[in-house]
């Protein structure tokens, strides 16, 4: 979700994209993750609302109201900012809704999240809560960049201007990997960004889009930038593997998974992939920024399991489950590393 948009449209307990489902599968049901882990990996995650498991709520006290989270029934990776009820024994989540890579040193930019991780690591050593080997064996997940692109378009930048920002965004992700590597991290799991132009929120807010829609109804220019960003991220991962030969850096093509789901929704048992289940305004997008999901006046569809999108930006739990299964298949991973590799 764009950080320039109203915080009222965040849904921290449901978002997940694939990540919440992925963590749930790894930590709670490892056998479903094509893995035989007896001891699932310790995970440290960095990102935005695609992988925030409560950081926005813990950090800012922002209220999250039903129906957000009503169908989610599992344990999530504990938010770093949540001081209550966690020993962080299975890792920590530094992702915060609305986060981007730039500008730096603004809560909660990617470089701030890495700084928080370094502080967490130092304090863990002082308190003898987590030994250094635990950090070296941990899995470091990064899913960020969507807000950098979305915010740029929201501010009125042209396609060409947004494309020119991509190298700076990628440099921040590269720097984050290198900093974590310098802290002993050797196992990385990097998601590219999804088809931004297929989100109901973007479609509803952008006026006069008919000339810029593809055959599936998505905004072509937004998706074109996402694909350019993803290709750049893929190349960065190739370069980092060459530079850090003792590290494993898995690049996951989330874009391909999500676009396939939208383009072939009926094949997977879904309908109206460009309409939000929870929102207001009705078809075609059911999104109104003044009446977001969880606020008075919003409506929730009867069959959330049949819709791809939850609140205009984030996916439904059923869609996330499918996305997670494809991620865990390794068919979209380079290199094709199974989660067994990340077991403790």
Catalytic annotation, residues: 49, 311, 314
Question: Alpha-carbon distance 103 to 101, whole Å?
Answer: 6
Q: What is the DSSP string of 184-231?
A: T--EEEEE----GGG-HHHHHHS-S-GGGB-TTS-BHHHHHHHHHHHH
Q: What length is written for the chain?
A: 344
In angstroms and rounded to an integer, the radius of gyration of the C-alpha atoms of the chain is 19
- Cβ atoms 224, 159 nearer than 8 A: yes
The separation between the first and the last C-alpha atoms of the chain, rounded to the nearest angstrom, is 33
Pairing type for strands 278-279 and 299-300 reads: antiparallel
Question: Alpha-carbon distance 311 to 275, whole Å?
Answer: 9
Q: What is the DSSP string of 114-156?
A: HHHHHHHHHHHHHHTSS-HHHHHH-EEEEE--HHHHHHHHHTT
């Amino acid at each position: 979700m764009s950080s320039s948009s109203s915080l009222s449209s965040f849904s921290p307990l449901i978002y997940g994209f694939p990540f919440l489902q992925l963590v749930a599968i790894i930590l709670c049901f490892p056998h479903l993750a094509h893995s035989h882990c007896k001891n699932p990996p310790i995970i440290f995650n960095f990102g935005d609302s695609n992988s925030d498991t409560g950081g926005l709520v813990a950090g800012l006290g922002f209220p999250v109201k039903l129906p957000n989270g009503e169908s989610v029934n599992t344990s999530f990776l504990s938010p770093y900012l949540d001081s209550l009820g966690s020993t962080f024994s299975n890792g920590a989540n530094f992702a915060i809704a609305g986060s981007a890579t730039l500008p730096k040193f603004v809560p909660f930019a990617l470089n701030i999240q890495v700084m928080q991780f370094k502080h967490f690591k130092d304090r863990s050593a002082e308190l003898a809560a987590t030994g250094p080997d635990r950090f070296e064996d941990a899995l470091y997940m990064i899913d960020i960049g969507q807000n950098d692109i979305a915010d740029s378009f929201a501010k009125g930048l042209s396609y060409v201007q947004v494309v020119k920002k991509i190298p700076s965004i990628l440099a921040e992700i590269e720097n984050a990997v290198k900093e974590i590597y310098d802290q002993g991290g050797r196992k990385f799991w990097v998601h590219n960004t999804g088809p931004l132009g297929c989100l109901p929120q973007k479609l509803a807010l952008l006026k006069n889009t008919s000339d810029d829609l593809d055959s599936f109804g998505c905004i072509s220019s937004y998706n074109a930038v996402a694909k350019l960003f993803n290709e750049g991220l893929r190349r960065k991962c190739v370069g980092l593997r060459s530079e850090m030969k003792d590290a494993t850096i898995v690049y996951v093509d989330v874009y391909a998974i999500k676009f396939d789901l939208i383009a072939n929704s009926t094949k997977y048992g879904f309908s109206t992939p460009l309409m939000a289940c929870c929102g207001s305004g009705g078809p075609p997008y059911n999104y109104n920024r003044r009446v977001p999901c969880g606020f008075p006046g919003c409506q929730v569809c009867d069959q959330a399991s049949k819709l791809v999108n939850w609140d205009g930006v984030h996916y439904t739990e059923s869609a996330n489950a499918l996305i997670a299964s494809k991620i865990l298949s390794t068919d979209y991973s380079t290199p094709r590393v199974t989660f067994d590799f990340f077991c403790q």
